[in-house]
Structure 1
Amino acid sequence: MEFADYRPYEAGDDFRYLDAAIYARRGEYHIRQYEVYRPAQITILLDGSTSMHFGEPDKFTFAATLAGLLGFAGLAGGDIVQLAVWSGERVHFSPRVNGAGRASALFEWLARQKTSGSGFTHGLKQVLSTVPGGLVIAISDWLDQAIEPHMLSRPHGVDVLAVAVSSRQEEDPEFTGQSELRLRDSETGAEFDFTADKAAVAEYRQVYQQWREDLRGQFLKSGCRFIAQRSDMDIALAVRTDWRRQGILE
């Protein structure tokens, strides 16, 4: 129970909640009112698709570290936390735990998870349709397909925070001169030839930035929060600055 406010005493009120200090100062009877704290349910869904195993440092390692940090923050705040990883075409769930003393169980479970397969948005739809409520934090590179409004439908009372993780190599590839490359999709295995020169790289950067803005717009239009993080950034610094400035963490 947490103190909320005072109100004037009314006949029938529990006299145990009378505030003696107010009576001593003002000679008036006031009742202390309280709010009962109920722990929130926090579900952190991590994308374990093959595309996350890319970058220096790789996106999955960064995302797992971030998931562990956010999970611990939830436990320290008295909330109930469950981690989930989409890998091998299905969602793997951790135990649902409460209390900072149980954080090690989440960390140990998270350390055993591996990347495999594709189709993260299928896992997101599954989680959103089954969570009992609270906050869902979805951490992914969001590269498997476009986000459509129906993918973000969820029960009343469920909030969503989407975290888009990218690598430096994806955002700003470095090519000098001209190179003939064969690119391979790590999830589908599809290959195609590509001529990398300054014009092509500049166009890629422009397309990538537009895709990121479109992605942000889709989430915001669906009533979700959105934040982008790069795998080579200082997580502690990001949490202390970006996350607090946007009101995600207090």
Structure 2
Amino acid sequence: MTPSPALLQELSRSRLRLGGSTAPAGTGERRSRQKGPGMEFADYRPYEAGDDFRYLDAAVFARRGEHHVRQYEVHRPARVTILIDGSASMAFGEPEKFAFATTLASLMAFAGLAGGDGVQMAVWSAGRLHISPRVSGVGRAATLFEWLARQKPSGGGFARGLRQVLGSAQGGLIIALSDWMGEAAPANALSRPAGVELLAIAVGAPQEEDPEFNGQSEVRLRDGESGIEFDFTADRAAIGEYKTLYRQWREDLRSRFLRAGCRFLVQRSDLDIDRAVRTEWRVQGILE
């Protein structure tokens, strides 16, 4: 789904918020831990042989009688990777979780491009990782939108895709969108190299969080990924117990990510996306 022009215009004045991740080499928009020639003054240091004379500070020499050079913050582009769970369970819900996740991914990708970052998308589907080109500049946003529109949910095993992306990351921000069902986020899937920040977004459907109760009935449930079926008596007590377990599972999931040093947010598929982009995402720390 291509985001509306109004939302893209709103995002053109934004960028993705990074926490502790460090940007790789290359001139760009993110402040790195390095200092050198740049635009924003950071500090002085004593002159060393080979330093550029243009950065000598005459005022410091007049006060101290020693040569010092001015240092500036170096700004570099971040590497942003947006990973979407394309497992079969994401095809559930009204609105559908996978379609909703791709909309969120498109908006976040555009914000990354607008902020000067290099952005790449990945979708785990049919047991393998599908990876888009890495692009920079808002003029390349259509490349990502068109690539994402061709992806379809199928299969399972999202934890493998998550491990692949985290294990091969070279710094920057990874945004992972999934319903995190089953073993999508085991503890060993969250390890990552130093300098890699993970923002985990739990995509849920309203029917999962608050299923309707229409009186007692016998139903057969089928797991969309494993194919396992079982019978279930849907009465008021069972629905109440389900809601309690669902809330507990979501809190356990949140705790798992926080313990691993990741950010964690919940986005339901009936979210008002316009309001989220304009206000909620800034409060939640997605945008700045």
Match of 1:209 among 216, 226, 247: 247
Single out whichever of 63-72 and 232-241 deviates more from structure 2: 232-241
Whole-angstrom distance in 2 between the partners of 1:226 and 1:240:
20
Normalised by the size of structure 1, how large is the TM-score?
0.89
> Is residue 4–residue 35 contact of structure 1 (8 Å, CA) maintained in 2?
yes
CA-CA distance at 1:10 after TM superposition:
6.8
Q: Which amino acid aligns with 1:129?
A: G
CA-CA distance at 1:131 after TM superposition:
1.5
Match of 1:92 among 130, 136, 143: 130
Q: Report matched runs for 1:69-108 at 5 Å.
A: 69-108=107-146
Normalised by the size of structure 2, how large is the TM-score?
0.78
For residues 41-91 of structure 1, the C-alpha deviation after alignment (integer angstroms, 9 at most, x for no partner) is: 011100000110111110001100000111111111111110000001000
Higher relative contact order (CA 8 A, sep 6+): 2
User: In the superposition, relative to structure 1, how do residues 30 and 247 fare at CA in structure 2: closer, same or farther (>3 Å)?
Assistant: farther
Single out whichever of 189-198 and 235-244 deviates more from structure 2: 235-244
> Is residue 3–residue 32 contact of structure 1 (8 Å, CA) maintained in 2?
no
User: In the superposition, relative to structure 1, how do residues 65 and 19 fare at CA in structure 2: closer, same or farther (>3 Å)?
Assistant: farther
CA-CA distance at 1:149 after TM superposition:
2.1
Question: 2:41: which partner in 1?
Answer: 4
The aligned length equals 245
Which sections of structure 2, spanning at least 5 residues, go unmatched? 1-37, 61-66
> Is residue 118–residue 144 contact of structure 1 (8 Å, CA) maintained in 2?
no
Which sections of structure 1, spanning at least 5 residues, go unmatched? 24-28
Q: Which amino acid aligns with 1:223?
A: G
> Is residue 180–residue 194 contact of structure 1 (8 Å, CA) maintained in 2?
yes
CA-CA distance at 1:247 after TM superposition:
2.4
Question: 2:98: which partner in 1?
Answer: 60
> Is residue 87–residue 154 contact of structure 2 (8 Å, CA) maintained in 1?
yes
CA-CA distance at 1:15 after TM superposition:
6.2
Question: 1:46: which partner in 2?
Answer: 84
For residues 138-176 of structure 1, the C-alpha deviation after alignment (integer angstroms, 9 at most, x for no partner) is: 100000326332111111111111000000000000012
Question: 1:26: which partner in 2?
Answer: none
Q: Report matched runs for 1:87-236 at 5 Å.
A: 87-145=125-183, 147-236=185-274
> Is residue 80–residue 97 contact of structure 1 (8 Å, CA) maintained in 2?
yes
> Is residue 158–residue 184 contact of structure 2 (8 Å, CA) maintained in 1?
no
Identity within the alignment, % = 64
For residues 163-191 of structure 1, the C-alpha deviation after alignment (integer angstroms, 9 at most, x for no partner) is: 00000000000012211111111111111
